[in-house]
Chain A
């Protein structure tokens, strides 16, 4: 007789059977809705538009052109095949020297040439996902904690804690000061951890921020460095959106800040990747850049678990060391992101929807608080289900980013063409217009009623229907592991 499922469960590890991968959450209903009914301009114009995926699809033409002109970069073309065997055989965890050099050079260029990076500190990893986990394995023991300002990328829960056993302690930020990280918030989070006997090993920030789309200013960065130095804890800066900065203020890299401060460099580590800046998530290029020699040394050994394919290293070494190409790419990409951002935010403003003022990233942080039935996370969920099922846009609710205020949504704009953006804006206009009409009608009947409650009346039937369908099973094809995985507000990291 076959083992029962529960017997089998006992035979597996706790890691394999717990929920800390964060993927089993009702929030995947949004993904399911998209997957079952994906939008296509001509073939399925009524489908769900994917706006929950932070991908950069705006500048592939430049890369394709470069690839066409540089056949030698591939080890499989007639021009490049002489390198095939040496590259295919190359598994040294130091990485191809020319690759590390090219990465260091690209990081320098992506930061406006304001700071330089040494190839000897470049450590490879399996995408930013692998890089973040690797850094945790190096810096923290099971049960230790890292502070993270909220709102933050939902998959940090998995990347930082699933296999490492590291806990997340959120540092609450809110709209009162545009979600800036304050010293008070840091101290409060740190103090709370201490009171619960949790050993805080460091602070991890994302700069530019996901989901806010903003860059941290110099003052804030300096105060963070001061804070971690005082506490003698690590600072991990996830800078994977560094080259998506499309307007001022310019990006300030952590390296710039520590150069002018009295700071213990052994506490400073950068996580980088080509997934967002170049739009290459499939190539799995993650980088750990640490100013701590021991972390570089050990990290390099650990990178054995997630090296970058040498075929990919070889191609990117060639591409990223082409200074003309890199210059052209970075400038053009920023321009296109700026334009797209402008079109989208202008379109939203036209219907009275504001976003947090942002200058980077592949998304906007949209303020829909006034559309909430109740200023609660339940209210946010109700609105979100309407947006997914009625408006047919998959956006990400703020609660999945652990935002402390309900009503904020992250909406991505760089993973689609111009026509699709137009359709999305049309739908939003229609949705808001409908809500206003309902409000006007309600006011005619009963002037005292607030228009939000009419929104509730209009949409409550659809949300009820949705809830009756129950929690859905994840479709096997739809999951992209590095997209924001919404996290149920009911599952709070224990602190």
Chain B
């Protein structure tokens, strides 16, 4: 008799995927600029480490927030005892105000519709528990964050059917792709409960176009299903077109509480990416549906936010001067850093999807593949991890349908380390194409053939913009 549950024995936690294996390799020999200069540089981790100084200087000026004090009085006991799953009211107010500010105050949020959870990981899982039964389906556009396999499926028993997006149109969601995914589920006699999108997208590093959002809303309206918009990167949209939340589009379409779709559109948020505070485990669910809010609130018992952290962040986020400055500075630094990465990649003859958000680039290495297959992608990835000593995430781990794409993060390492990573990559690519011919047999001819092919592709890459022009989005 199996002693543990199915949850414990199957690997639907998804942590055997290459996304996580790359991390493991990194853990074995992490790069250090003094102690391990040949170690693996971590570029597979979507963290935002660019603006800690702003938070640190705020803390230095606001000691009370941290010292369990309010108006000079100790509130430790009050905080230590506070376990109400409705959350600290001041914190929820500060959160919704911050969320509105990120969206240029084009939409506002009601704190009574916000549910706090232990990170976006918990928020996504909680949503799925509320919206779908085991065996039901969630549609997710590819490529998507590998952790969704765990967050959405593992303990909930819900299945994912991908909405296939391709480079032909910059991986935008199309009506055809949506319909095909829906039909696929129907063919398998599975009930579709909703669509989960990430906007800005992980791993693409792009914001959704108005067209895509309209399309999604029409689709979910037509099918009578939910739309969950994971907007945890909303504060990282550093250049035009500006981030457009699904809530804004609902407003544009004059959808309010009297419209059918109003209650079926939900948002996930977190402070892990925008503020760079993944350790604090601050996630949130936002829904217009009272029943969802009620159910999610009860469920949040399983993963509440530490009251100590709520108190600190409530003070921080209520400081409008800080938030305004932070948002602007964050954009500026991310934009610069992304530019450095893109330029470094270009020097290595590598291009990426034209991104305007996120903490990563979606990099096109198709021309470096031995063949247009996922085996070749894995081969290339292993070379990059084990020989070039860069941990980047292969597109297959993000369920991309085309081999050769990689997610490369740029905001979780110092600039000089990023430069070093680009130098290594450039050297690798140079070497890859300049391997000395080996006794004139097919191997060398294969290499020169592929080199020629790759060069041609490389040249065409430089002149062809994969992504639709900005003004059309």
A residues with CB within 8 A of B? 1-3, 5, 8-9, 11-17, 21, 23, 55, 57, 60, 63-64, 67, 71, 74-78, 81, 84-85, 87-91, 126-127, 129-130, 133, 137-142, 144, 158-159, 162-163, 232, 234, 266-267, 275, 278-284, 292, 294-295, 298, 301-302, 304-312, 315, 476-477, 479-482
A137-B5 contact given A142-B134, A304-B121, CB 8 Å threshold: yes
7 closest cross-chain pairs (CB), A and B: A76-B66, A310-B279, A282-B307, A306-B303, A309-B306, A16-B295, A126-B303
Determine which of A280, A283, A294 lies in contact with B4 in the assembled complex, contact meaning CB atoms within 8 Å.
Answer: A294
Question: Chain B residues with Cβ under 8 A from A294's Cβ?
Answer: 4, 8-9
Q: Which B47-82 residues have C-beta < 8 A from chain A?
A: 47, 49, 52, 55-56, 59-60, 63, 65-68, 74, 76-77, 79-82
B76 touching A64, Cβ below 8 Å: yes
Given A298-B8, A480-B83, 5 more A-B residue pairs with CB atoms under 8 Å apart are A16-B130, A90-B279, A163-B129, A311-B308, A315-B308
**Listed A/B pairs (9) with beta-carbon separation below 8 Å:** A9-B291, A21-B299, A60-B80, A64-B76, A67-B76, A284-B303, A302-B155, A309-B280, A315-B308
CA distance A23 to B297 in the complex (A): 12
B281 touching A67, Cβ below 8 Å: no
CA distance A75 to B312 in the complex (A): 11
Determine which of B52, B81, B118, B258 lies in contact with A2 in the assembled complex, contact meaning CB atoms within 8 Å.
Answer: B258
Question: Chain A residues with Cβ under 8 A from B134's Cβ?
Answer: 142
Q: Which B327-358 residues have C-beta < 8 A from chain A?
A: none
A74 touching B67, Cβ below 8 Å: yes
How close is A5's CB to chain B, nearest CB, in angstroms? 8
Determine which of B55, B74, B79, B278 lies in contact with A84 in the assembled complex, contact meaning CB atoms within 8 Å.
Answer: B55
B residues with CB within 8 A of A? 1, 3-9, 13, 15, 47, 49, 52, 55-56, 59-60, 63, 65-68, 74, 76-77, 79-86, 118-119, 121-122, 125, 129-134, 136, 150, 154-155, 157, 193, 224-226, 257-260, 262-264, 272, 276-281, 289, 291-292, 295-296, 298-299, 301-309, 312
How close is B191's CB to chain A, nearest CB, in angstroms? 11
Determine which of B3, B83, B125, B277 lies in contact with A284 in the assembled complex, contact meaning CB atoms within 8 Å.
Answer: B83
Question: Chain A residues with Cβ under 8 A from B7's Cβ?
Answer: 137-138, 141, 298, 302
A64 touching B295, Cβ below 8 Å: no
A305-B308 contact given A16-B129, A89-B279, A139-B5, CB 8 Å threshold: no
CA distance A267 to B83 in the complex (A): 31
A310 touching B86, Cβ below 8 Å: no
Determine which of B3, B13, B56 lies in contact with A298 in the assembled complex, contact meaning CB atoms within 8 Å.
Answer: B13
Closest-by-CB residue of A relative to B300 is: A481
Question: Chain B residues with Cβ under 8 A from A129's Cβ?
Answer: 301-302
CA distance A159 to B299 in the complex (A): 10
A11 touching B122, Cβ below 8 Å: no
A283-B308 contact given A3-B260, A12-B131, A63-B80, CB 8 Å threshold: yes
Question: Chain A residues with Cβ under 8 A from B272's Cβ?
Answer: 91
A16-B292 contact given A137-B5, A141-B5, A284-B304, CB 8 Å threshold: yes
CA distance A129 to B262 in the complex (A): 33
A139 touching B52, Cβ below 8 Å: no
A266 touching B301, Cβ below 8 Å: no
